[in-house]
Amino acid sequence: MQCLCMGIAMNKLIDLQNITKAYGDNIVLDDLNLYIKENEFLTLLGPSGCGKTTTLRIIGGFENPDQGNVIFDGKNITKLPPNQRQLNTVFQKYALFTHMTIAENIAFGLKIKKKSKSYIDDKIKYALKLVNLDGYENRKPDSLSGGQQQRIAIARAIVNEPKVLLLDEPLGALDLKLRQDMQYELIRLKNELGITFIYVTHDQEEALTMSDTIVVMNQGYIQQIGTPEDIYNEPTNAFVADFIGESNIIAGTMIQDKLVNILGTNFECVDVGFGKNKPVDVVIRPEDIDLVAPEQGTITGRVTSLIFKGVHYEMEVMANGHEWLVHSTDLSPVGSEVGIHVDPFDIQIMNKPESDDEEAVILDE
């Protein structure tokens, strides 16, 4: 499903070059460089205030960058107003025109482009079918559910045949079940339309499910760019590791290549090139920890809490003075003594930031 054939056949459709944007003293984006390829589903992922929405708004034309250029299909569109850009946006709060019918909402952009009535009618029919809302032409937006409204917002955008669809946390206001349905719906739509999606969200699960490429952002900087698998399995720093899924992030020391000391015990790993006796951060996913008999574990500990999560149990194990978060389908009762084992390739070593400021690591390509 995911397209991993990076680079070769695909053009850069949008190229953000050295984008800087500040509101007063608050620097939102600092010298950001990013390109988006044609037909890609790219997600900007990060906590609120990370600059993802500002990036999207700069692409949409609602904000002007203080510095840098926005190149679209080879043309510099940095100064072009939104109504002249070949892309459309789906807004977080739907932004439907409440005093118009659904049909009038969808026809809005087409009427501006002076399309013929029959063309517009066909497009409305087609778009409503595409979002599974045939027959809603004469309803008013207020009479629709949140999910339906969001689908109308998408229909309204795509009838204009944009090259790129920008989606600003479009599922943020929906409940969990609906959100999951809509995720599949969006993937289907993207495949049917064959256009580029740029998607903004703070929900890592959403990003992992839908994206071809994820851009993790924090405090105005890009932290990591990669496929969902890359991002999940090989986070480049503690922020990414912490943000994407749950992790045990533990301070450790790289003894030598392929050997790391964690909390006084040496673990085998696969990472090389960190130097000798170097302080590092160690990331271990909770599902990658195997609880074994005490004598078989690298270290031993005692289970301090147990929660049933449906698919798995979530346990906390006190070992070597650290609470280890463990996900497992096997139950170990509270108070029992367990051994902890981690396969070498499940241990992810990351450089320790030298100061707090550097927590947001600048990743130059």
Partner 1 sequence: MVKKITQKLYIALMFIFLYAPIAVLIVLSFNKSKSRAKWGGFTLQWYKELFANQQIMNALYTTLVLALVSALVATIIGTAASIAMNSMRRSPRTIMMGITNIPMLNADIVTGISLMLIFVAINYTLGFTSVLIAHITFNIPYVILSVMPKLKQTNKSTYEAALDLGASHMYAFRTVILPDIFPGIMSGFLLAFTMSLDDFIITHFTKGPGVNTLSTKIYTEVRKGIKPEMYALSTLLFVSVLTLLILINRTPSEEKINKRLKKKAVQKESNSKFRIFKPAIILIVIAALIVGSFAGMKTTSGKNTLNVYNWGEYIDPEVITMFEKETGIDVVYDEFEMNEEMYSKVETGAVKYDVVCPSDYTIQRMIEADLLAELNYDNIPNIKYIGKDYLQSAEAFDPGNKYAIPYCWGTVGILYNKTMVDEPIDSWSAIFDEKYKNNILMINSVRDAMGIALKYLGYSLNSTDRDELEEATNLLKEQKPLVQSYVVDQVRDKMIGNNAAIGIIYSGEAIYTRRENPDLEYVVPKEGSNIWIDGWVIPKNSENKENAEKFINFLCRPDIALLNFDYITYSTPNTAARDLIEDEDIRNSTIAFPDSATISNCETFKYLGDAMTAYYDDKWREVLSQ
x/- mask, partner 1, residues 73-112, rule CB under 8 A, reads: --------xxxx---xx-xxx-xxxxx-x------xx--x
Task: Give bridge partners of residue 314 from the DSSP assignment.
Answer: 307, 327
Amino acid at 119: Y
x/- mask, partner 1, residues 258-277, rule CB under 8 A, reads: --------------------
Q: Report how far apart the first and last C-alpha atoms of the chain are (Å, whole number).
A: 26
Distance CA 92, CA 201 (A): 10
| Segment 54 to 73, residues that bind partner 1, using CB under 8 A | 60-62
Q: Least separation, in Å, of the C-beta of 288 and partner 1?
A: 42
Q: Least separation, in Å, of the C-beta of 32 and partner 1?
A: 22
The CA–CA distances, whole Å, from 245 to 6, 248, 271 equal: 25, 10, 21
Nearer to partner 1, 106 or 238 (CB): 106
β 164-168/67-72 pair status:
unpaired
Q: Which residues neighbour 310 within 8 Å (Cβ) at sequence distance 6 or greater?
A: none
Nearer to partner 1, 82 or 344 (CB): 82
Tokens 């696969």 belong to 270
For 313-324, the DSSP string reads: EEEEEEETTEEE
Q: Which residues neighbour 336 within 8 Å (Cβ) at sequence distance 6 or greater?
A: 302, 303
Distance CA 351, CA 36 (A): 28
Q: Least separation, in Å, of the C-beta of 98 and partner 1?
A: 7
Q: Least separation, in Å, of the C-beta of 52 and partner 1?
A: 16
Q: Least separation, in Å, of the C-beta of 84 and partner 1?
A: 8
123 near partner 1, rule: CB under 8 A: no
Q: Least separation, in Å, of the C-beta of 109 and partner 1?
A: 4
| Segment 129 to 168, residues that bind partner 1, using CB under 8 A | 138, 140, 153, 156-157, 160
Residues of this chain that interact with partner 1 (CB under 8 A) are: 60-62, 81-84, 88-89, 91-93, 95-99, 101, 108-109, 112-113, 138, 140, 153, 156-157, 160
